[in-house]
Structure 1
Amino acid sequence: MSGQGASGALHISENHLTARQLQGCVVAHLDAVTAVLARAFGHEKELCIAAGETAALAGWIAWDLGDHLAARSYYRVTADCADSSGHPPLRALALAYASYGEAVPVRRLELLERAVACVRGPGNATVAAWIHARHAEEAAAVATRRLGGELSDSGVVILGDLAAALLAGGDLDQGVHVARQFAKASDARPNTMGRARALTIAGRLPRTEGELAAHLRRCAA
């Protein structure tokens, strides 16, 4: 199995192993890849990418286990591998994982915006979809917190766009949550652009949210 193939298998294993079970495998794989990298003539880029992907997973596991210092160190390895390989999706991965460790919401969004810029263009659909969803999640959280104060007309529209994007991307739980916040904001500050978003969101809600969909259609009328 190639370095990148083995890294991919480890990411799949993440779905059915605990962080503690997976940690030993990931660290061992990272050690093996870095040992080979020094003498991998003609395959440096492939192995560098594999090392970066594995380091990102190692960082996520360390974070999950509460070792935040180790996690940040692994994310720096991922960023270094991205620089060495010239592989923008790997840089995006490093930025997106690192965003979890930022305490300030605006800083998390900044990192994710940089990650989004790294995966523009063809060939990056999978990682781009995850990063866009991660960005939408953080943006929605920021917008939701702001509902405690006065939300501008543009803020209502942004909240509507976030709800629509989350629902379209299949993140139904978060999408419904943001849609409810949007409905409250729309009631407080009705405007033409908000009404247009309400109709779009109503059409994307799951069937179980019929009452919310009906409320949004009334807002759009």
Structure 2
Amino acid sequence: MTSPNGIGHLLRGLREQAGRTRRDQAEHLGAVSSRFVDPENIKRWETEKRLPVPHLHETIARGYGIPVEEVRQAVAASRRYRRLASASRLSEDREDITRVERREFLGVSMLAAGIATEPWGRLAAALAGPTVDRQLTDQLVEATANLFVSEHHLPAELLVGRLGSHLEALTALIPRSGPHRRALTVAAGETAALAGWVAYDIGDMDTARHYYATAALAGREGGHPAVVALAMGYASYAAPAGKAREMLAAAQEHVRGAGYAAARSWLAAREAEEAAGCGDREGAVRALDRAVTAFDYADPAAGQAWIRFYQRSRLDSLTVATYSKLSHPDLGQAAENALTNLGDDDSKVSIVILSDAATGYLMTGNVDRGLEVGRRFMDAAVATPTTMGRQRLVSMAALLPPQYSAARDLAEDIRAALAT
């Protein structure tokens, strides 16, 4: 299995575009590097059976006529895809899985699979299912948390199946979970909310809305308002500005307790962004002040798994988005803060942060810096396609000043990326 944005697709596409066979390409690489290149290596790279080692990146860049940074990014994308795809599958012969753990996992899998089978299959699955005890409940809750962590890097298309299987397992177990029903209901609600976000990520808005409604229902049923807030926060991205602002304000009422400061900060910062979009400068500033205050009390790493994406750089980027709409005098500094706090983070969140930072620079007239960060944003958005990324690419192309040749080039590259 090769990464859709990895080195295999890149090298094969470039070779075929040049009209070379793998042997021709190996000879060409040998000519530019003055060293023998085995044609089998070309095959291994294209199929990602083996990834190019760092000392060959320069040679590959020269031989294929691309920047070395593009090679490095493609190799990194392949490595992430390989690692996360591997993590998404549970190998039955792993030595560190005990016999009890394997029996429990297989029982849950059979329950999940049994939902879609004939009646006798569902009965067999139910009979084979594990007893829902505290240990199994904790494992399923942890698996739910891990799905949120995986979403930071994993392509939406690869996450869909895992979310569906996990949600089916939880759905099958809830009726027989006894004292653990609330914990599994909350986990199911969180999983449904994430499934809605992933559906939105791939452009399936109708499915996303159904998942969000179900997640909110599970949150209310489980007596866990934070799940309702999560569903409303995700859903706000697809709502009209005025409606989104109302949803975000209401969502904050569901995370008033201790331990939810990071969630309150995220929702308040999103409210600020939407308020600015509605032209309410005073309301946007007030909401942003609440977001900053809540963040000062937050510990995202210790909170709910679904809020761990929300680090200082994300708050900074929401500040940039708000300031951009308000033409705030501190916009340039906010953009610089967002980039500084982003560091070398290459998760999906970086796509949003780079987009906001590039917009901030362009809005303040720092065109060179805006184009530099804008190209980084485009590369990240192309490497991990998302609905939000495509929307932001469209906005970025419209914002680029056409009087600059470098801006016209970037706009053309964005249009080409959107057309693929």
TM-score by length of 2: 0.39
In the TM superposition, residue 156 of structure 1 has moved relative to its aligned partner by 4.6
- 1:21 matched to 2:158: yes
SS state of the match for residue 2, structure 1? helix
Task: Report percent identity of matched pairs.
Answer: 36
Which residue, 86, 90, 100 being the options, matches 2:237?
A: 100
1:63 CA drift (Å) = 1.1
**Which of 261, 275, 293 is the aligned partner of 1:125?**
261
How far, CA to CA, are the matches of 1:98 and 1:183 in structure 2?
Answer: 27
- Residue of structure 2 equivalent to 1:62: 199
5 Å matches for 1:126-141? 126-141=262-277
- CA separation of 1:140/1:85 partners in 2, compared to 1, >3 Å: closer, same or farther? same
Larger radius of gyration: 2
**What CA distance in whole angstroms lies between the structure 1 residues aligned with 2:180 and 2:212?**
22
Using the alignment, how far apart are the partners of 1:106 and 1:134 within structure 2?
A: 12
Query: Which runs of structure 2 are paired with 1:69-218 in the superposition (5 Å)?
Result: 69-102=206-239, 104-143=240-279, 155-161=280-286, 170=312, 171-176=315-320, 178-179=322-323, 182=326, 205=334, 206=336
Match of 1:118, SS state, is coil
Rounded to whole Å, the distance in 1 between the matches of 2:262 and 2:320 is 23
Gaps of 5+ in 1: 144-154, 185-197, 213-221
Q: Which amino acid aligns with 2:183?
A: E
Aligned to 2:303: none
**Which string of whole-angstrom CA distances, capped at 9 and with x for unpartnered residues, describes residues 76-101 of structure 1?**
11011011111110111121122223
Q: Which runs of 5+ in 2 are unaligned?
A: 1-137, 296-311, 341-359, 365-420
**Cα pair distance change 1:90/1:11, threshold 3 Å:** same
Deviations 1:108-128 (A, max 9, x none): 111111101111131212322
Contact 1:166 1:175 in 2 (8 A): no
39-48 or 63-72: bigger deviation = 63-72
TM-score (norm 1): 0.71
CA distance in 1, matches of 2:182, 2:288: 39
Deviation at 1:4, TM superposition (A): 2.1
2:167/2:188 contact within 8 Å kept: yes
Please tell me the residue identity of whatever aligns with 2:181.
E
The CA distance in 1 between the partners of 2:241 and 2:250, in whole Å, is: 14
Superposition CA RMSD, Å? 2.8
- Alignment of 1:45 onto 2:182: yes
Q: 1 or 2 for the larger relative contact order (CA 8 Å, sep ≥6)?
A: 1
User: Quick check: 158-167 or 81-90, which moved more?
Assistant: 158-167
Task: Give the residue type in structure 1 aligned to 2:238.
Answer: G
